[in-house]
Amino acid sequence: MNRKLIRIIHICIKTNIFTLEELQIGLRAVLPVCRLETGIDQQKEDNFRNGIVDVEDEKVQLFSECLIRKFNGYDDDGNLNEVVVREIATIYLNENEVNKLVAECTVITDANIHLKSSKLMKCFGKYTTLKEILNG
């Protein structure tokens, strides 16, 4: 993916100027990059997009981590960035749902960042799926 687009995505996240359309554009740009970087197969990605996250599958774990990192979801130490989670979730959830998501998902921890990432994406998927966001 072109670095300029990634910088635009990061600027949108940091400056809280995300719209659903911008999020969709960012996801459509990042998904193929993460697919290539992780080698996830089409069926696993389709399941993932539909909210079926196999947290034990290594490719799903790597794919999850890739997506979270591309949207600045982790700081340099691998801690989940709650501000970013809230900013993104606010685009497609109401305030009450955002608070529930944050309360439920941000407490997920694991020493293995890959496993933690897949657990987080599974948790996020309880509130909406990538497919729902992309079809917004």
Phi, psi of 16 (to 5 degrees): 60, 45
| pLDDT score, position 19 | 84
Distance of CA 78 to the CA centre of its chain: 14
Question: What is the set of domains in the chain, with CATH numbers?
Answer: 20-134 (1.10.238.20)
The model's pTM: 0.86
Q: What is the pLDDT of residues 21-57, one digit of tens each?
A: 888 888 999 999 999 999 999 999 999 999 999 999 9
Within 16-72, residue ranges assigned H as helices are 20-38, 42-49, 58-70
Query: What is the model's pLDDT at position 121?
Result: 96
Would you state the pLDDT for residue 75? 84
Give the residues of the chain that fall short of pLDDT 50.
1, 15, 17
Predicted local distance difference test score (pLDDT) of residue 15: 45
